[in-house]
Amino acid sequence: MTANINLPRILRIGAEASQMLPATLKELGLSRPLLVSDAFIVSLGWLTKLQQQLDQEGIFHRSFTGVVPDPTTDAIYEGLAVLRENQHDCVVALGGGSAIDTAKTIAAMAERDQPIRHYKVPQTLDDGLPIIAIPTTAGTGSETTRVAVITDTETHEKMLCMGFGLMPVAALVDFELTMTMPLRLTADTGIDSLCHALEAYVSRRANPFTDTIALASMTAIAKHLRTACREPDNRVAREAMMLAATQGGIAFSNASVTLIHGMSRPIGGLFHVPHGMSNAMLLPAITEWSISGAPSRYADCARAMQLANASDSDDQANQKLVAGLRQLCADLQVPTPASFGISNEEWRQAIPTMAQQALNSGSPANNPRIPNAEQIAELYQGVWTN
């Protein structure tokens, strides 16, 4: 089977990469960027530094700072209004996954007038303004993907959008921007990256290109995530996590996520659980349920994460994998839906909707063990307190 590999045209990784925006714009022949960010990034002064870079080079720019967590269609429409006021020729994202997904969708919707829900999967967004992504969290990998997740303000559905119009033409990946990430954000985005890598490796769409990248990402995350949480100023851990996040993005963008992400999005959309945290809530249980579909692949993951060694059988490795994932979530204080504050009644009432939305996303069809709606519902019920 031929694998289709899609990557940003320009990928700059390392300290001070974020200072190369003017050079990148000139390299791409772009001159009127709309900068997209959020209030927190503004408060850190990072947007101002980006604006100063552009001012020094005489590059016209305007900014939209109305990004919200788990970006909504309302926020996208506000950003589109700003974009259309000034004839911008590209969109620059500065921030975490919410900022990048917002910028992507603004860029892809620039010349479109249908509601955003019209373009969710299985439809595609295959063109739009050029996008340059500058991530500030080591997690989503959105800087390297042709995917965006947007919450429909009216229905609260967390919609999966895909297409070449959502792929950044350039990504400036600067780990120094992650040095101020608080523990909870470091933990949640780190586990999100781990899910990207693990799901890409066991996906039915996995391929030799993504396999090596996914394994490298898992190895680094298992080694460095706890350190990045305990020692936020540890440059070695921060740099390793930033690279692993980008690798995870490359892996899943070209091999797909699976059941974990399929079930995670509805939790975020309906209960406003941060994306990485909702993945973490599901990671051990969904992995355990899925192992029978690809036991040797999951065993590879256990060995890559140094949870098992070469002398372990695949069955032993997989037992250690599940135990290791549960311990990681415990060490990083990942809540259950119950301890997050979601009542059992609310959770039970939402399960049919969540199960259907998970199936509609298409991600569960890439899982090694493909579930039906009833099995997804049972899994949701099982993770409420565990």
Give the number of other Cβ atoms within 10 Å of residue 242's Cβ: 29
What confidence score (pLDDT) does residue 386 get?
74
Asked whether the CA dihedral 151, 155, 160, 165 is positive or negative, the reply is negative
In a domain? residue 134: yes
In a domain? residue 265: yes
In a domain? residue 189: yes
In a domain? residue 5: no
In a domain? residue 4: no
Q: What is the pLDDT of residues 246-269, one digit of tens each?
A: 999 999 999 999 999 999 999 998
Q: How confident is the model at residue 2 (pLDDT cuts 50, 70, 90)?
A: confident
Q: Is the pLDDT of residue 1 over 90?
A: no
Residues 89, 133 within the same domain: yes
Residues 267, 193 within the same domain: yes
Residues 155, 212 within the same domain: no
pTM: 0.94
The residue among 143, 178, 213 that closes a domain is 178
Q: Tell me the mean pLDDT in the region 41-67.
A: 97
Q: Tell me the mean pLDDT in the region 328-349.
A: 96
Q: What is the pLDDT of residues 357-385, one digit of tens each?
A: 999 989 999 999 999 999 999 999 999 88
Residues 199, 304 within the same domain: yes
Q: What is the pLDDT of residues 331-341, one digit of tens each?
A: 999 999 999 99
Q: Tell me the mean pLDDT in the region 34-62.
A: 96
Q: CA separation (Å) from 365 to 145, 204, 368?
A: 19, 8, 8
- The structure tokens listed for 253 are 């963008």
In a domain? residue 274: yes
Residues 84, 194 within the same domain: no
Q: Tell me the mean pLDDT in the region 286-291.
A: 98
Q: How confident is the model at residue 44 (pLDDT cuts 50, 70, 90)?
A: very high
User: By percentage, how much of the chain surpasses pLDDT 70?
Assistant: 100
What confidence score (pLDDT) does residue 236 get?
98
Q: What is the pLDDT of residues 191-206, one digit of tens each?
A: 999 999 999 999 999 9
287-289-295 Cα angle (round to 5) = 70
Q: Check: CB of residue 363 under 8 Å from CB of residue 261.
A: yes
Residues 20, 99 within the same domain: yes
Residues 294, 341 within the same domain: yes
Residue 4 gets which letter from DSSP? P
What confidence score (pLDDT) does residue 64 get?
98
Q: Is the pLDDT of residue 85 over 90?
A: yes
Overall size of the chain counted in residues: 386
Q: Tell me the mean pLDDT in the region 153-175.
A: 94
The residue among 148, 178, 208 that closes a domain is 178
149-265-296 Cα angle (round to 5) = 105
Q: How confident is the model at residue 156 (pLDDT cuts 50, 70, 90)?
A: confident
The residue among 160, 178, 196 that closes a domain is 178
Domain holding 97, by residue range, is: 10-178
Residues 151, 198 within the same domain: no
Q: Tell me the mean pLDDT in the region 127-131.
A: 97
Residues 371, 225 within the same domain: yes
Residues 201, 151 within the same domain: no
Q: Check: CB of residue 259 under 8 Å from CB of residue 290.
A: yes
In a domain? residue 45: yes
Q: Tell me the mean pLDDT in the region 108-132.
A: 95
Residues 190, 121 within the same domain: no
Q: What is the CATH number of the domain that holds 14?
A: 3.40.50.1970
Number of domains in the chain: 2
- Determine if residue 156 is left, alpha or beta; phi over 0 gives left, psi from -120 to 50 gives alpha, anything else beta: left
CA 301 to chain centre: 20
Residues 250, 305 within the same domain: yes
- The structure tokens listed for 66 are 């109305």
Q: Tell me the mean pLDDT in the region 293-316.
A: 98
In a domain? residue 187: yes
Give the number of other Cβ atoms within 10 Å of residue 4's Cβ: 8
